[in-house]
A and B are shown apart, each in its own frame.
Chain A
Amino acid sequence: MTRLLSDSAIERLREAADSPDLAGTRYRLVEKLGQGGMGGVFRVEDTALDRQVALKVISVADPDETSSFRLLQEAHVIAKLEHPGIVPVHDAGLLSDGRPYYTMKLVQGRRLEEHVATVPALSDRLRIFLRICDAVAFAHAHGVLHRDLKPSNVMVGPFGEVLVMDWGLSKLMAEKVENSASSSVDPGPKKPDSSATSFGTVLGTPGYMSPEQSRGESVDQRADVYSLGAILQFLSADLSHVPRALAAIRKQSIAEDRTKRYQTVQDLASDVAHFLDGLPVSAYPEGRLTRAWRWIVRNGVWILLLLAYVAARALLIFFRPR
């Protein structure tokens, strides 16, 4: 059969079809930034405020409206999570073709997987990791699970800001749903059958998804702890020597059995912070000798100064003029 259109022409047509029709909104399309499973992200200009923002919109085909539901839920969840580590949502609405969209701060940075190549020091990488933990712990405190934490969902900005992105698979924790009257996060739009996140449905990214999540079981904050552990593993994967305490932290955070993992993100972050400060970590019990040595290393300078003082005193006593 003769082809009427070239591949590039077909590609341009596909792009044009995917591009959102922003007529009737305050936004003007600038360029496409990326494409995810659910939809695309575009750089747009907010004509009312004269600034560029990122606009996320679902792909054209969404027959069962699952993606629309997810996108709106994501917008509602992020809008409630005001934290420096979570991209702020500015606006949400419907396009003229009925597709929902939301706009958020345009983050001009690099994905963690690219950024990490420019950060050789383990301590700097761990500081980034702690910032991720901060944002996730904040979300957990507000009853929100991310469920898709991975390096490509973390952006590092030009000024070192760390942002956890893509909350499309986020979900309210069960106990928070029960207490929704007092919960600080409104789950947003309700889908009658809620099949998108029901028991038995597998959503997430292999390699970063907890075993219980990959089995389609119900998950809690320990699933995010697992994903964070996998990110920690990613951050230290190319190091020739991983300290034993850090290896123990990694191992505990990605334990198959979730009862053996850190029970909260704060527990994991606390151990990583202790490791960074040269303090003992809960995942790696130390013997007395190791603890004593650690104390000496931590207090080495003033112990040396004290010894210098004693030595000076001793020298003055024993070599004083007779």
Chain B
Amino acid sequence: MNKALLGLILGGILGVFDGLSAWFTPAVRPEILGIVMGSTVKGLIAGVLIGYFARKVNSLALGILFGLGVGLILAYAVAAMQPGPNHYYFEIMLPGGLVGLIVGYVTQRYGRGPQSQPATH
């Protein structure tokens, strides 16, 4: 499986679980479907970006850093879009950053990178 696809799948799965965790907050439970969908899309976007980065850059440290950055930025955007006075930056950005970090690590460690052409003379 190539790294971009791995990032997409992992980001999507973690996004679903991330959204489902909103079920434990009774106040937002009626909107859980929208939250799960939004969270999944966020996970997919983060996953494919991080996976693509892993295809291009072969560095565990940079991959993790990039994953963390993408996770935090996307989570920040989601938090900023929250209606009402409370944006829950910490509550949304902490798990969002961790999801990016996990995807960053996994896409660097696993998945198939671009294939090089055999040299001939």
Contact = CB atoms under 8 A, between A and B. Distances in A.
A316 B18 CA distance: 12
Nearest to A311: B98
Contacts of B105: 301-302, 305
A309 B91 contact: no
Nearest to A315: B94
B99 interface: yes
Contacts of B99: 309
B25 A302 contact: no
A302 B109 CA distance: 10
Contact of A316 (B91, B102, B106): B91
A292 interface: no
Interface string A1-22: 0000000000000000000000
Chain A interface, DSSP helix/strand/loop, else mixed:
helix
Interface residues of A, number: 11
Contacts of B14: 309
Interface string B86-121: 000001001100110110011001000000000000
B79 to A, nearest CB: 13
Which of A308, A312, A313 has the most chain B CB atoms inside 10 A of its CB? A313
A302 B106 contact: yes
B15 to A, nearest CB: 12
A214 to B, nearest CB: 43
A64 B68 CA distance: 76
A319 to B, nearest CB: 10
B98 A308 contact: yes
Given A302-B106, A320-B91, A312 B98 contact: yes
Interface residues of B, number: 15
A317 B98 contact: no
A313 B24 CA distance: 10
Which of A306, A308, A309, A312 has the most chain B CB atoms inside 10 A of its CB? A309
A215 B69 CA distance: 67
Interface string B1-37: 0000000000000100010010011000000000000
Nearest to B14: A309
B94 A312 contact: yes
B25 A309 contact: no
Contacts of B94: 312, 316
A313 B95 contact: yes
Contacts of A306: 102
A308 B71 CA distance: 15
A306 B98 CA distance: 8
A317 B102 contact: no
A305 B24 contact: no
Contacts of B98: 305, 308-309, 312
Contacts of A312: 94-95, 98
What are the nearest 10 A-B pairs in CB distance?
A309-B98, A317-B24, A305-B102, A313-B21, A316-B91, A312-B94, A302-B105, A312-B95, A302-B106, A313-B95
7 contacts: A302-B106, A305-B102, A312-B94, A312-B95, A313-B21, A317-B21, A320-B91
